[in-house]
């Protein structure tokens, strides 16, 4: 697999200093207790920022090795694992999931395809009521809940965000077809070859003390969810749509690999054509299950989303900026054209529009540094 030539774009060091200033300003303004941010360009790290406190009660500072829960940023990791299997010919995009997981086909789900799950058009967006937080950390219970789920909408007809179901379905598909758990697959096929040690779906218990505590910021209306995502039980389980844990530095490295077309530092993870296929627009419109926001989606990746900022000279024929955000707190994205990758993780969970405003400002500052 040939390494792509470096992009012609260059980052202005003085404008990168503005990114650093803005990063610190947001901490000083109290927009989040702690945060970390990484920027890669042409596959190389150019910014590795961190600051604030990882725990307000103990006043433990954020360090270069502080881990953050990435919430729905985890969906991109799960989708990429699926993508690796797709590229290898182990899965076909438009085939019914029930072909490899017969029990999933119950209750009207027999024709739901991989494409529909990856594009949030599967029609079963709501987390089953039986999948309470204590059961969500148990894989077998989650799989059973997915099998028993009933479509709320006709599959393929509407975009409705599958907040939790997305990851359990993808993870079980990987286990059924490959034999490994999604946690092991991610480590063996993606993070391990890239030399990444700090991206996890299922955190080792020994690293628990490194995880930043998450805090509900004023106006955020789901404090019970924040409480759950602060528990070791959640951190150490596999909830592929929502409980990825990472440093910004290593999540940025993962997206740096994507920005370079699937190859980084001699590690060939996937063909660039597979990435291009995954970021082709599949659906666009109103997501009726996610604050009725307007979305544009590839296969598991959001395209051109507001928190990713707006690249300079963006045009109709320009490749999409692609990535994923996570529960009022974080964003990570890449761009094939400029070979840019950005990861921003915070411990303060903000309501909209505050969350998008702060993440967009940081993202835009990075784009503005590109010549």
Give pTM, 2 decimals.
0.96
Residues of the chain with pLDDT > 90, as a percent, come to: 92
> Does residue 171 contact residue 181 with C-beta atoms inside 8 Å?
yes
Does the pLDDT of residue 315 top 60, yes or no?
no
pLDDT digits (tens, 9 = 90+) for 79-124: 999 999 999 999 999 999 999 999 999 999 999 999 999 999 999 9
Does the pLDDT of residue 316 top 80, yes or no?
no
Average the pLDDT over 211-217 and give the result.
98
Q: Tell me the C-alpha distance between 324 and 120, whole Å.
A: 13
Residue 292's pLDDT band, with cuts at 50, 70 and 90, is: confident
Structural domain boundaries of the chain?
13-368
Average the pLDDT over 208-215 and give the result.
98
pLDDT at 9 (0 to 100): 79
Average the pLDDT over 160-172 and give the result.
98
Q: Tell me the C-alpha distance between 2 and 268, whole Å.
A: 9
Please give the CATH number for the structural domain made up of 13-368.
3.40.710.10
Nearest CA to 256 out of 1, 86, 3 is that of 3
pLDDT digits (tens, 9 = 90+) for 230-271: 999 999 999 999 999 999 999 999 999 999 999 999 999 999
Average the pLDDT over 153-172 and give the result.
97
Alpha-carbon dihedral angle through residues 118, 139, 154, 323, given to the nearest 10 degrees:
-20
């Amino acid at each position: 697999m040939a390494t792509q030539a470096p992009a012609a774009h260059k980052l202005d060091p003085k404008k990168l200093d503005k990114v650093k200033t803005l990063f610190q300003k947001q901490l000083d303004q109290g927009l989040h207790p702690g945060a970390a941010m990484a920027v890669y360009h042409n596959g190389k790290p150019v910014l590795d920022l961190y600051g604030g406190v990882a725990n307000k009660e103990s006043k433990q500072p954020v360090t270069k090795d502080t881990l953050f829960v990435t919430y729905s940023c985890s969906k991109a990791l799960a989708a990429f694992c699926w993508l690796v299997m797709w590229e290898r010919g182990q899965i076909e995009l438009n085939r019914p999931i029930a072909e490899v997981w017969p029990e999933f086909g119950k209750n009207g789900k027999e024709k739901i395809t991989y494409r529909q799950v990856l594009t949030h058009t599967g029609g079963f967006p709501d987390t089953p009521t039986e999948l309470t937080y204590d059961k969500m950390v148990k894989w077998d219970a989650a799989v059973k809940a997915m099998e028993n789920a009933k479509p709320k909408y006709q599959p393929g007809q509407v975009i409705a965000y599958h907040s939790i179901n997305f990851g359990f379905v993808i993870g079980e598909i990987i286990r059924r077809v490959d034999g490994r758990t999604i946690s092991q697959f991610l480590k063996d096929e993606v993070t391990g070859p890239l030399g990444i040690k700090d991206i996890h779906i299922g955190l080792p218990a020994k690293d628990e003390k490194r995880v930043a505590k998450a805090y509900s910021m004023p106006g955020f209306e789901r404090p019970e969810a924040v409480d759950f995502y602060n528990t070791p039980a959640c951190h150490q389980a596999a909830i592929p749509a929502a409980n990825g844990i990472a440093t910004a530095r290593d999540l940025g490295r993962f997206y740096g690999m994507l920005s370079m077309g699937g190859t980084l530092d001699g590690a060939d993870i996937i063909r660039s054509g597979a990435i291009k296929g995954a970021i082709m627009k599949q659906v666009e419109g109103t997501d009726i299950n996610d604050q009725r926001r307007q979305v544009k989606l590839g296969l598991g990746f959001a395209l051109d989303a507001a928190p990713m900022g707006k690249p300079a000279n963006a045009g109709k024929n320009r490749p999409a900026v692609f990535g994923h955000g996570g529960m009022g707190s974080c964003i990570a994205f890449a761009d094939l054209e400029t070979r840019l990758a950005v990861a921003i993780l915070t411990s303060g969970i903000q309501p909209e529009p505050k969350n998008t405003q702060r993440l967009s400002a940081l993202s835009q500052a990075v784009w503005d540094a590109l010549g």
